[in-house]
Amino acid sequence: MKERLEAADFIKCVCIVLMVVFHLAYIGDKYPVAKQFVYTFHMPAFLILSGYFLNVCKPAKDFLRSMWWLFVPYAVFECGYVVAASFLPTRDAVDHLSATLVFRKLFIDPLGPYWYLHTLIIASVIAYVLTSGLKRISDAFSGSLLVAVVLAAVAHFTGLMTVTNVLYYALGYMLARIGVPLQSFIRPSCWALLPLLLLMTDAGHFDKNTVGGVAIVYLVMSLLLALYPRLPDQVRSASSFIGQNTLPILVFSPIFTMGAKVLLPFFAFDSTGMLFLAVATLITLSGSMLLTWLLDRLHLSRYFWGRERFLRY
């Protein structure tokens, strides 16, 4: 179990770092095809893992508490992002800020990277409620399939989530419910690189909604699971730390990715943008960890994350 968890943390580490990289507007504009490729798999991988590790055995009170402490940082920073988008030159610019707009973005159509938390909270609540109500269904596969259908239906008819996203989430949930270990379904293999390279020759596959996109998600996760045991101990330790702390990186990273624009003049001499990428990504990851550490040290994490200390080592 421990090895499987550490390998999952490595996948989360890679995906969150790639999220940071391509939320740097300059990098996304400079390498649009690479951005499209990364966007094909990085959030689907997160959704699969989120569904897989959903704990539906928690008492209702504990589960609702965990959802509340996802909602609090989501609400604070989604509202902050909407306000910032009303006066900063961002891709998600807001023309007319109003209480109605903030409410709509918070509960219906979030801006920025916070859509993931919005989807995670809604999908998890639905999955938990249905799982609790379907205890009479002894067949775990039938029960988890019904959860997938309901999630897809809610996404389709309400527009609160996208159908594709909840199906990735439902896949992870189903694997856990029917007792299939992650690495038994997504087989670790370095050979996954070969079909992955073949798919990469056609950008038409760079879409998580297509068969080719689903294959890319599977192959990337397979390759990462195969690479993990081969990493040096120091790299494994660092990736585990980042992978266990992806939530604060997701929450705090827009502060730094938006602010990174001020660094661009200092790297004008590098036409590749790689130096800017490296420095801006390092600042974003370090800054997010620093803010999390400060909340811990100032004993404010209990009010923001719902725990005395968030940072995990």
pLDDT in tens, 188-211: 999 999 999 999 999 999 999 999
Cα angle 81, 87, 92 (rounded to 5 degrees) comes to 50
Model confidence band, residue 142 (pLDDT cutoffs 50, 70, 90): confident
**Hey, which bits of 212-297 come out as E strands?**
none
**Residue-level pLDDT at 6:** 84
* Nearest-angstrom CA–CA distance, 188 and 228: 9
* HSE (side-chain half, CA atoms, 13 Å) at 163: 8
Q: What is the mean pLDDT of residues 282-288?
A: 97
Contact between 239 and 230 under an 8 Å Cβ cutoff? The reply is no
Q: What is the mean pLDDT of residues 85-90?
A: 73
Residue 10 CB neighbour total at 10 angstroms: 21
* Nearest-angstrom CA–CA distance, 79 and 118: 13
Q: What is the mean pLDDT of residues 302-312?
A: 91
Q: Which residues of 169-202 are buried (b: 16+ CB within 10 A; e: fewer)?
A: bbbbbbbbbeeeebbebbebeeebbeebeebbee
Quick check: 148 pLDDT over 60? yes
* Comparison of pLDDT for 83 and 30, the residue scoring more: 30
Quick check: 4 pLDDT over 60? no
Q: What is the mean pLDDT of residues 57-62?
A: 92
**Residue-level pLDDT at 2:** 40
Q: What is the per-residue pLDDT across 66-77, written as a single tens digit (0 to 9) for each?
A: 999 999 999 999
Domain boundaries, the chain: 2-304
Q: What is the mean pLDDT of residues 211-227?
A: 97
* Nearest-angstrom CA–CA distance, 173 and 186: 14
Q: What is the mean pLDDT of residues 2-22?
A: 87
Judged on CB neighbours under 10 Å (0-12, 13-18, 19+), 1 is exposed
Quick check: 93 pLDDT over 80? no
* Nearest-angstrom CA–CA distance, 228 and 239: 9
Query: Which pair of structure tokens corresponds to residue 237?
Result: 């330790």
Model confidence band, residue 90 (pLDDT cutoffs 50, 70, 90): low
pTM, full prediction: 0.94
Sequence-ordered alpha helix ranges (H) in 23-59: 25-30, 32-52
Model confidence band, residue 3 (pLDDT cutoffs 50, 70, 90): very low
